[in-house]
Amino acid sequence: MRHTVLFLAFALAAGNVLAHDNDVSKVNGSIHAEASQTYGDLETVNGSIRIDAGAKVGSVETVNGSISTEDKASLDSASTVNGSITLGEQSHVTGEVSTVNGGITIGKLSELGNDVETVNGKILIFQSNITGDLSTVAGDITVGTNSHIHGGILVDKPSGWNWGKQKKPRIIIGPHAVVMGELVFKREVELLVHSSAKIGKVTGATVQTYTGDLPARKD
């Protein structure tokens, strides 16, 4: 994802992007996909991208900006570097959803066909079906009630010198949620799993089972 976005930034700045029919490419400025319309790829460097209800688009990419959709939008993929990604209810994404500095929120009854990843930001999933994996370094992850993750979960360890002391990521697997793949934690986390949830093998963390309200955060 990072290589794709960096290429986009340089190519747009140089004016070398080859646009297909219904593609929208900018360097500075936001992009708005109108309701129930069909577009190609939506790409900008400095600006947000907003997709209205029922719109169908290709890949959605920005560097400095957020990406948001209303209900029942369809996308090939969504990626940003500095910004959040928010998908409305019943959204459909065939590819990856990824950001570096920002959170990701998946609305109810959405279908995602690939991975969901962030480095510094929360992942929040409401009653949705995710074919791929979930991954983060410093963010919390909440797999909400009745959500189904066909892949696993990875919390990677920080790299570099400037991370400093950080609070432990909190990983919550809610009531009747399913995570079919392995849950791998390469740094210390707080792992809370509802008694009705089902998860795969856990490596690097101790499961804390809960049945009622979530326990208070320890850090």
The secondary structure element, H or E, covering residue 79 is strand 77-79
Going by C-alpha positions, the residue among 201, 207, 151, 198 that lies closest to residue 175 is: 198
| Residue 112 lies inside a defined structural domain of this protein | no
Q: Does 95 share its domain with 4?
A: yes
| Residue 47 lies inside a defined structural domain of this protein | yes
Read off the pLDDT of residues 159-204 as tens digits, 9 standing for 90 and up: 765 555 678 999 999 999 999 999 999 999 999 999 999 999 999 9
| Residue 110 lies inside a defined structural domain of this protein | no
Determine the Cα–Cα distance for residues 138 and 166; give it in Å rounded to an integer. Answer: 8
Look at the chain and report how many structural domains it folds into.
2
Q: Does 97 share its domain with 1?
A: yes
Q: Does 2 share its domain with 85?
A: yes
| Residue 109 lies inside a defined structural domain of this protein | no
| Residue 43 lies inside a defined structural domain of this protein | yes
Q: Over pLDDT 90: what percentage of the chain?
A: 82
Determine the Cα–Cα distance for residues 87 and 69; give it in Å rounded to an integer. Answer: 5
Read off the pLDDT of residues 107-150 as tens digits, 9 standing for 90 and up: 999 999 999 999 999 999 999 999 999 999 999 999 999 999 99
Going by C-alpha positions, the residue among 122, 172, 170, 169 that lies closest to residue 147 is: 172
- Which residues fall within 8 angstroms of residue 114, CB to CB, at 6 or more apart? 77, 93, 94, 95, 96, 97, 131, 132
The full DSSP string for 55-67 is: -B-SEEE-SBS-E
Q: Does 8 share its domain with 87?
A: yes
Contact at 8 Å (CB) between 125 and 91?
Answer: no
Determine the Cα–Cα distance for residues 26 and 45; give it in Å rounded to an integer. Answer: 7
Q: Does 66 share its domain with 149?
A: no
| Residue 90 lies inside a defined structural domain of this protein | yes
Q: What is the domain range of residue 207?
A: 133-160+167-213
| Residue 179 lies inside a defined structural domain of this protein | yes
| Residue 11 lies inside a defined structural domain of this protein | yes
